[in-house]
Amino acid sequence: MRGGIPFSRFVNWIYIYLSKILIREIRIYQLYLFFMMPPVINKKNLLVKRSRLPCAGKGLFTKVYLPKGARIAEYKGRMITWKEFNADNPFIYSINRKHVIDARPYKKTLARYANDARGLYSLKGVRNNSKYVEDGFKVFIEATKDIKRGEEILVDYGKEYWDAIRYNIKLAHQKVN
């Protein structure tokens, strides 16, 4: 070849140049995600006490104002399969068709105390103010609107959850009768 670089060296140079650009773009995107992802609220700003919802037991309350989009708490627990799941355990979160997060043995997991305003017994005018957000195998409660200091954190459990609870109650009543 006259007066130039061999084609293979040229291709190699282009490959290296594009790789460096791609790596830089990935790092920029990772930084973007890091800074744009809402931080999880400090546990000290949350409180567990008797829920204001009838027959709900304990509830999760905030000690500070929480803006819309704030990550309130992570739903932590042991990852188990549905086969290992015990039907009388209310502290679960379904990750997929095979796995659930079991928070029953983890009493310090504050997210397990968040109730659903649309549960079996609801109060007129009380609505959910947060939602579950999945990030891989991690689950967070995220505010869907501004939450005032002292308010209870209320999150939608989903229709399937309440259908299963109603079905189990129906079965329990049939056993008694």
Q: Mark whether 28 and 54 lie in a shared domain.
A: no
Residue 147 in 3-state DSSP? strand
CATH assignment at residue 150: 2.170.270.10
pLDDT for the residue 119 = 80
Cα 42 to Cα 20, 37, 94, 123, 129: the distances in Å are 38, 15, 25, 29, 18
CA atoms within 13 A on the CB side of 70: 18
* 30-34, 60-64, 72-76, 151-155: least confidently modelled range: 30-34
- By percentage, how much of the chain surpasses pLDDT 90? 27
Whether residue 135 sits in one domain with residue 83: yes
Q: What is the pLDDT of residues 73-115, one digit of tens each?
A: 998 888 888 778 776 777 778 878 888 888 888 888 899 999 9
pLDDT tens digits, one per residue of 101-157: 888 888 888 999 999 998 877 788 899 999 999 888 788 999 999 999 999 999 998
Same domain, 168 and 107: yes
110 and 29 co-located in one domain? no
How many domains does one find in the chain?
A: 2
Residues 27 and 113 placed together within one structural domain of the fold: no
Token digits of residue 30: 């990772």
**Element (DSSP H or E) covering residue 38:** none
Residues 11 and 69 in one domain: no
What pLDDT does 49 receive? Answer: 95
Could you tell me the residue range of the domain that residue 19 belongs to? 1-36
Is-contact 68 146, C-beta < 8 A?
Answer: yes
Class of residue 174 by CB neighbours under 10 A (exposed 0-12, middle 13-18, buried 19+): exposed
- Same domain? For 47 and 133 the reply is yes
Average pLDDT over every residue of 38-42? 68
Looking at the fold, whether 97 and 128 belong to one and the same domain comes out as yes
> What is the sign, positive or negative, of the torsion defined by CA atoms of 111, 128, 72, 56?
negative
- Count CB-CB contacts under 10 A for residue 45: 14
Q: Are residues 53 and 31 in the same domain?
A: no
